[in-house]
Each structure stands twice: as structure tokens, then as C-alpha cells.
Structure 1
């Protein structure tokens, strides 16, 4: 053993007085005047003298301190700064300890601006919250692999295929978000889990819709409560439930009989941008006027003046023993339009669908509002029992 190393002894450490005591090779034992102790390693790197703490005694024994000092001394000889290396390892460890639930929430916050109503409906986050986070939420995101994802999705992979697909897609976005934050993640974990789970057996089903011939009977059964008024407007306009729930008085021009739905509440339509105008029939105007009697910031307020929940209208129909759901009225309207000979372009535009290819859309920039006004008036007559299912000619009406 070189005389320049291992100058101290384990027995003698306890009786050393206050001061700095060299063990050799840069390792130093320090006893402060208050009685506390510490190990310090001193080294030279790139011509610069540095020192670093190795921990207190007796938490770090003489033997352990020597082993650590030997490792750091070898690093310094190879031109590696032990302090910089240790700090880098700490940062890496901290990054890898980020839990999935925290990154998922951060990802959700970052995406809110592109979601309807800043994601308050919960549709974006709920697949994660219900099916992923209860099992994997407290797992460091660096440990999320295809096996953990497979085991989490397996119970719903075939039985709730669409839900499982959404949950997998959301998790994939969270992993990409983590990678953008500089965290160590497996970006292929979800795809590899899909390969392990295999092809889904479940076939997607269309949302149940009420036959268009039965819509008048259902409409006539609705009262004047907030939820029933919301359903009335949804049926008469053919829009999705979110725009109805988040409808506000300032979106509606009763004089022009136009409801302008903000772009953020319009479901993404490839090739379409901006707000969406909806013509209001006489019947729809009466529903709006009745809704305005409730006052408040939204037409259809729920608890504490906030918009009614995403499930409120569905619950009303479910409580009546109906299989059909609110979204299905769009199908009822579209089928009625087909059966009664309404022009394809007008019917599709009424539902907010994009018609034609990019070249056709470049020349056809009208939203066919006046033609849609005629179509929706005929639909309203059918819904309210004021008209038959006759073909309504709207040829020649300018859009």
C-alpha cells in the first residue's frame, strides 16, 4: 500500500480533533467545531483545483469513502470532471422520476387551446384518466414500456375497442410530449403494445339514431326545461351537442336569424376553417327566445350557471328507455334529406361537412346559407308536424 494513501484508520476517526485530516489521494476527513463530520474529495481537472463532498461520517464509512474517492480519482485522470458527471446523473435521475400522471396533465394543459372549450368537456383527458392513469399514473414515465401498456389496455382492447384506441392514442401523445420535454421515454411503447395485443375483434358501431319518421313524435314530447330546450335546438339545427351546450346569446343574431358557432366549437373539418353559420328557422328562433328567459352567460345553463354537461341530453333519452342518442339526430336529418330528394351539397353543408375537393372548394366559397335556410325550414316543418315529407325545391335559391 503506498504510504501516500490510507493514512487514517476506522478506529482512530472517532477520536480525531476538529480540523482537516488527510487520508491521501485527495480524500480528506473534516471534523467541524460543532462536532459534525464530512468526507471531502479534492482533485485537479484541466488545471483547475476542485473539491466535492462525499457525505457525512458515519453515514459514509472510511471504506466507502475510499472506494468513492478511487472511482472519482480515476475519472479525473481520464479527463472527466466527477462533479459535472455527478450533477448530470442527478439531472437524468430527476427527469426519469417524472410520473406519467404529471406529464399527462402537462400535455393536456399544452393542448387545451386546440380543444373545444379548452377541453372542459373532458373528452380528451377522460380516456387517460379512466383507463390509463389508475394503473400507470404513478409510474416514472421512463419505465412505461410495451408490457405495461399492453397489460393496461388488455381488459378493454376487444370489449371497448374505440375507447381503447382513444386511450392508446392519448398515451402516445403524452409520451411524445415527454420526449419534447427532454425526458427519457420509449416513443415506440404504444405501437409495440398494439402489436402484442393484436388486431381488435370489436367492430365500431354507429351511434343509434331515431328514424326520421319518429322524430316529430319525440319532439312533441319535449317540454320547456333547459335540457329539453337544448334538445329542441339540436334537432332543429342539426348541429352537434357541444355547440348547443356552449351556445351564448352573443353568438345569435335574431334579426338576421343566424347562429354563428365559433371555430373552436366546430369539429375539425379537413379543408375548412373559421366559424360556422347556422340558419335559424322560425321554430328555432322560438326555442332560442324561450332559452333566453333563463338568463345567464349560456343559453342552456346547468349547475352554477355553467353549460349543461356532456351527458345531460343523453341521460334524458336513456331515462325514457330510448336506444337513440342526441348525436343520432344528425343522421335522422341526413336520411330525411336523402329520402325527400334534397340536394346533396346543401344537405352535407347543413351538417357542417366539407363538400368537394380542394380545387372545387377554391371556386365554391359560399356556405349556401340561403339554400340551407329553405332546407332547414322544411326539416322544421317535418319535425314539428307542420309539413309532410315532400320534396322541397330549392333550385334557384342563391347561396
Structure 2
């Protein structure tokens, strides 16, 4: 042993310490050399009146300076009343509890499948991850998955199977966000950076990229929980009313009748140049209530969702909300999602959902004889849409409209 004094070791002394024994550095820190030649650092301390020894690590990997830093950290822990050994064991146990991506995806699917009405979607949700995400991400711990790993999983199908790749991307993001909400990831899914790192997908048709309607509830829940800025509130209102983004961006408080629960868009702001009355569901009214808290002018002409400068939001503002959320869809696509939901999940006549979308009837004869805009049925439809978005905790979605009509009735 070196001198038996309390003097500090030096890097040279550590290097030359080859004889078996304990080489004291000071404040309880020793360099332990075993007969086998193995060398490691050891800290001796008094904890609760008892002598304890803490292994710090092999000297081959840990230099003198790092050994002193680790020893100081351990001393700080036990002085604060924390048992370093117990804390280390707890940390290791916590690491063992963090699930793999595959286990997390299975759990997410199990938790959510009860809220899905479409059996095909239930099966496809997990099957797509098993086919395209599990091979590269499945065995990785959920907290270790980063943007390059996700990009590598998506790249082989990104151009070959663009629609499938977008859905897989969204579902990967859902699993990672779920892990974040459970405390297993320090951050939410890095989907925006992943999408920026992938090549632009070819446009095969003129259809707007629409989020599957089964994924709209989770997306809206995330938007509702986020800060109530004009762009985010505008997007939520667009979704709840199934309106065009331009109609929402130009919405004025004078067009809204809160007592009657309607929003009347004047003809000069409508694509078909006809005034359109939108029945407002409780969810849409709640968005307006949050928007009113941000209102800076009492004038009827004041915009409901103004930009920071007070003018009308640009058409890219709502799209940016989607991009920032890592969603590869268009704002207009939510109208398609609404239409798909109405067709697949409800018994409302097609004419009612078409009226809700303010679509004109191409049949001139039928159009000439129609004398209703289905306002009451549209109110029921929009309330059902809002209830569907609210999920199992919301109201039950009425499958049959109160005034029963055959699907497609004029």
C-alpha cells in the first residue's frame, strides 16, 4: 500500500500500482488490486452508523479523475439520505421495465381496439406494424428509438407503398407518444424530423391526403390538450364543422349565433356562392369559447381565428399545425375523413352528409325539387361526428338519425 497516508494518488501512481492491495486516495476512495491483477475502484463510507463499501468500477475503464467524481456523487447521495446501492438497483429495475417497441405496440392496440368500430381497421393497425416496423424496431427498447431508426424502417416502403408507409408512420408515432405519456420516453415522437428526412412521395392522383377517420379522435385529443393558439383552434373548428379551411380562416364573430348554435357563412365566402348555415355541435361551441378568450375586438367583423398581426390566417398556417404534429395529411383531407365516417359508421342519408359539406347536387332535376337543407338532420350528424371524435368517454354516437330516412334519399 502506498505509504499508508491520506495523500492523493497520482495518475502515475495508479499506473504503477500492480502489487495486490488497497491503495488509498483519500476520503474513503481506494484503488483495489487483486492477486489476479484485476484493478477496480472502491469507496468506503459510514452510512447510518455502519461501514459500507461501494464499487465504482474497473480501473481499466475509469481514470483517477472520474473515480473521484463518482465517489463524490455517492457521498452526496448518502449524505442526502439516499442509499446509493438501492438507488442503483431501482434504476436498473426501471430500465428492465421499459417495454420494447413490439410490446408497447401490442399494448397500445389492446387499449384502443375497444374504441374502434371497424374490425378491418383493428386488424390492419397492428398487422401493418408487424409487417413494416417490427422487423427493425420490434426488439428495441421504446426509449431508445430515435429518428434515424424510424426513417430506416419507413424508407423501404416510402415510395413503393406511399399510403401504407404514411399509416405506418402515424402508428409508430402513436406508440412513441403513448410511451412518452407513460414516462418511458423523455420526448414525444420525432415524426416531423423523420418526415423531413424522407424523399417526397410522388403524387399519383389529385385526391387530398386524408387522415383515416379512425385516427381523427386521437389527433383531436392531442390538439385539444395543446396550447389554444389561433391556428390550432382553427384546425379543430375546421374538423368539427367539416368545413373548408378558407371558410374557417375568414370566419367573423358576426356570422356566429351562439344562442341558435349556428354559423352562417355568407354567399360571397362560399365556393358555390350560396349562403351556408352550419349547425354547431357542443365541441365546436367549446372551440369558439376558447377562441373568444383570445378575442381582441368586440366588432362583429372581428375574425374568430386571427393571425398574430390581426389579419386572416394564411392557408399554410393550418397545414403547419399538421406538419408540426408529424402528420402527412392535408387540412382539406379531414372533409374526406368526415365523409368516410358518415358513410361507413352511420345510417344518415348520403344527401345529409353532402349538405353538411356544402356540396352542390349535380342532378339539376333533383336539385330543383329539393326544398330542404336538412338543417336538423345535419345538426344530429355533426353532434354524432363530435361524439365519435370524443371517443368512448364522450356521448354515444347515434347510428340512426331521429327522422329515419333511407340512405340516399333526396
Give the TM-score category using the shorter length: 0.3 to 0.5
* Structure 1 length-normalised TM: 0.46
